[in-house]
A and B are shown apart, each in its own frame.
Chain A
């Protein structure tokens, strides 16, 4: 993508953990870019360092070498330009705060007027379809609703990039479909740039504009695939498209290859 400058640029990212029995190379050499407004899905075989990648992106982990650049400047710590939605919503929301208190939490130290803060909280809860739950506590809500609260908190923070770490891995299938459509909706209607990490191949193809397939650890980019499905997607019709099936089969095959031979040469797109 030659036009416009990328929002996020990852350059030769490498992460090595020092463990008791020597070193573990979680990420080998990872490079990719992401444009503003993009919805990028990251898939890979289990144990391929997806969470490590995400923590490096969010500035929660220091890479061993390489760079993460946000709008041209390197990320060296947690950045106000990024918000993370964790997989474990039950451990990410604070049970002693109300839904409102949780969404407001990251806004407290932003110098906002009371009215602006209230407006942002209301707007974020509206966006995730929970305007009436502001005064509840998270534990009074179902799992899917709790994850919506976590997404609302991230939206209210107004990040440049929303980073989601297997956010729907712990909810049931129907709730999951609803939440996927919520992410599509936020992408289309609010233009929120999103990095969506998942181990679910169908989910990555259904959601993404682009899918980044990672190799087995030590991780490299196995394939950078553009998803040429229509913008407007629908759980029933999109998943029934022949092209959807082709793409998911392709991604599936790539992941199988990735499991067998780490970091092989990229395979041409179908």
Chain B
């Protein structure tokens, strides 16, 4: 009997590896920015800007009061929407995944609601909830909840029958079963759903602010565009991109922690 440790091959020097990784990560972006800079000195199109003016606009626009007035409220709404989507999506997903009758009753309804493009709900939400933060969070949830809900349902349904029988035979209580079996078993699928929800939430955050808002990233970008502040508009788009990357990185950190067992197991079974 041998224990299969997480056998990694002997590493090359750590410094070399880090340097290589950094080179791979930033190589292409650096090259692209370089080409872009060269190209912008030759182009006369006034709706496209070069890296220098963009960077200046970025600094002037976003570093300062706009960060508090526009960026933070947007980020707050985005995070609130994501949080609510995860809570509601996972809770409802566990219920629907566990109870077959519930699933059969709800399935057609869920298909219908999922098919509605969330932006069309914005005017409705405005009428019902007014032009408020709540309305924007509701719009974000109305789109971001679906990948989480549907993945949770699938994950819960796919819980191994022997694992469930084990819980039965040891008379594991209902709550322990949810916390120690159902949720961990579904967690890889839930994380997949959350990852998809991130991009949906970001899109809906911007759109909800473009429709009806007096502050926020989406509002600012639309404002700059209408006033021909082209470099500023581009700087807002850059900020959105950075926000998306930051979100993905934060998610990656959480995912690696939550699914450490899953990745470890897959590494062993593939070996």
Contacts from A to B (Cβ < 8 Å): 58-60, 78, 80, 82-84, 86, 88, 91-92, 94-97, 105-106, 108-109, 133, 136-137, 139-142, 144-145, 153, 157, 175, 178
Contacts and interface: CB of A to CB of B under 8 A. Distances in A.
A153 B4 CA distance: 21
Nearest to B167: A105
B166 interface: yes
A91 B181 CA distance: 12
Interface in B152-200: 160-163, 165-166, 168-173, 176, 180-181, 184-185, 187
Interface centre among B1, B169, B265 (most CB of A within 10 A): B169
A94 B184 contact: yes
Contacts of B168: 60, 78
Given A78-B168, A140-B5, A142-B4, 19 more contacts: A59-B169, A60-B169, A86-B162, A91-B160, A94-B181, A96-B184, A96-B262, A105-B172, A106-B170, A106-B171, A108-B172, A109-B171, A139-B264, A139-B269, A140-B4, A140-B6, A140-B268, A153-B170, A157-B170
Contacts of A153: 170
B2 interface: yes
A141 B264 CA distance: 12
A80 B173 CA distance: 13
Interface centre among A60, A95, A133 (most CB of B within 10 A): A95
B1 A144 contact: yes
Contacts of B120: none
28 contacts: A58-B169, A59-B169, A60-B165, A60-B168, A78-B170, A82-B169, A86-B165, A91-B162, A91-B163, A92-B166, A94-B163, A94-B181, A94-B184, A95-B262, A96-B187, A105-B170, A105-B172, A108-B172, A108-B176, A109-B173, A139-B264, A139-B269, A140-B4, A140-B268, A141-B3, A142-B1, A142-B4, A145-B1
Contacts of A96: 184-185, 187, 261-262
Question: Which of A58, A97, A140 has the most B CB atoms < 10 Å from its CB?
Answer: A140
Q: What size tier do the contact residues of chain B reach?
A: 20 to 34
By CB atoms of chain A within 10 A, which of B160, B170, B187, B268 has the most?
B170
A104 to B, nearest CB: 10
Shortest beta-carbon contacts, A-B, top 8: A106-B170, A91-B162, A96-B184, A139-B265, A96-B261, A84-B169, A92-B166, A91-B160
Say what secondary structure dominates the interface of chain A: loop
Interface in B231-271: 261-262, 264-265, 268-269
Contacts of A59: 169
A60 B162 CA distance: 11
A137 B1 contact: no
Contacts of A84: 165-166, 169
Contact of B171 (A78, A94, A140, A145): A78
Contact of A133 (B3, B165, B185): B3
Contacts of A141: 3-4
Nearest to A109: B173
A60 B168 CA distance: 7
Interface string B1-43: 1111110000000000000000000000000000000000000
A9 to B, nearest CB: 20
A53 to B, nearest CB: 15
Chain A CB within 10 Å, residue with most, of B3, B173, B176, B264: B3
B176 to A, nearest CB: 6
A178 B1 CA distance: 10
Contacts of A137: 261, 264-265
Of the candidates B4, B160, B165, B184, the one having the most CB atoms from chain A within 10 angstroms of its own CB is: B165
